[in-house]
Amino acid sequence: MECVGSEQGDASGGKCNSESKGAESDICTQTKEEGDELEVPKESVDFKVIYNKNKYDVNFLLDSTVGQLKQHLQDIIGVPQSMQKVMIKGLAKDERTLRELGVVKGAKVMVVGSTLDDVLAVSTPSKQDIQDEKMATASKEPFCKQKQHRKVLDKGVPDDVMPGIKNTKDALPPYPLSGMLNKSGGKVRLTFKMEQDQVWIGTKERTDKIPMNTIKGVVSEPIEGHEEYHIMGIQLGPTDASRYWVYWVPAQYVDAIKDAILGKWQYF
């Protein structure tokens, strides 16, 4: 701070004396000190994002992270950030920057991931299923008696399903719940990533990372004759038709699953 003062100011001339009543001509001016660095413009790069055989021209800051890029892309390609995988010389971690990964002008960045519609498509019921479900709801028929579920249950208990224990409540194990089936009869596993607030629905073909706060509800009922296992419907969309059905869920983990997804007091 450089100060120009009147004769009534401080004799040193190095201060602005705010107590001097007669110093009407006092002027304080700020000058840039020597050695101050000028702000360097942030560098951006033009590259192409390829998703689902479509190409998108993207301009993004080189020092931004992959996580920030995912957030930017979710509105462009329609895939939630948590469901994207960015491929830059292999799978790119969220904390890495584009500069660190060597992204240059004209580079091609691959993105893979599933939209919510893709996830629901795996468990989308047919018109007949919807009609059967409405009839079952009206008659309050148990899930295990409903036609749409019988075609999966009639295959029997999967050989590699985890042991079920009825009349017991256990915490979720530190490993995925595996050996269960989805509505198409394919193997499915559930992995709970509490630190990320996500449940991962994994099949042989892919793994979908679902933010728990987007799940609308969870329903379950024991399977008649095999009460140590449940049928569970995880509602991913706004209606009951958007439930992702999982069969042969070990009964001892049902309450813990609902607790993890919905919160302890939301499913009673």
Q: Tens place of pLDDT for every residue, the chain, 268 residues?
A: 444 444 444 444 444 444 444 444 444 444 445 445 556 678 999 999 999 889 999 999 999 999 999 999 988 988 888 888 899 988 889 999 999 999 999 999 999 887 666 665 555 555 555 555 555 454 578 999 998 899 999 999 999 999 999 999 999 999 999 999 999 999 999 999 988 888 999 999 888 888 888 898 999 999 999 999 999 999 988 888 889 999 999 999 999 999 999 875 444 4
44-119: CATH architecture: Roll (3.10)
The confidence score (pLDDT) of residue 59 equals: 95
The confidence score (pLDDT) of residue 265 equals: 44
The confidence score (pLDDT) of residue 268 equals: 41
List every span in the chain annotated with CATH 3.10.20.90. Answer: 44-119
The confidence score (pLDDT) of residue 195 equals: 85
Using CA atoms, how far residue 15 sits from 1, 11, 32, in Å, is 9, 9, 17
The confidence score (pLDDT) of residue 224 equals: 94
Q: Whose CA is closest to 190, among 162, 151, 168, 226?
A: 162
CATH of domain 143-262: 2.30.29.30
List every span in the chain annotated with CATH 2.30.29.30. Answer: 143-262
The confidence score (pLDDT) of residue 28 equals: 43
Neighbours of 38 (CB within 10 A): 6
In 89-170 the beta strands, taken as DSSP E runs, fall at 108-113
Sheet order of strands, 108-113 included: 54-61, 44-51, 108-113, 84-87
d(CA 54, CA 74): 14
Place of tokens 């302890």: 264
Using CA atoms, how far residue 186 sits from 171, 180, 198, 204, in Å, is 26, 8, 22, 8
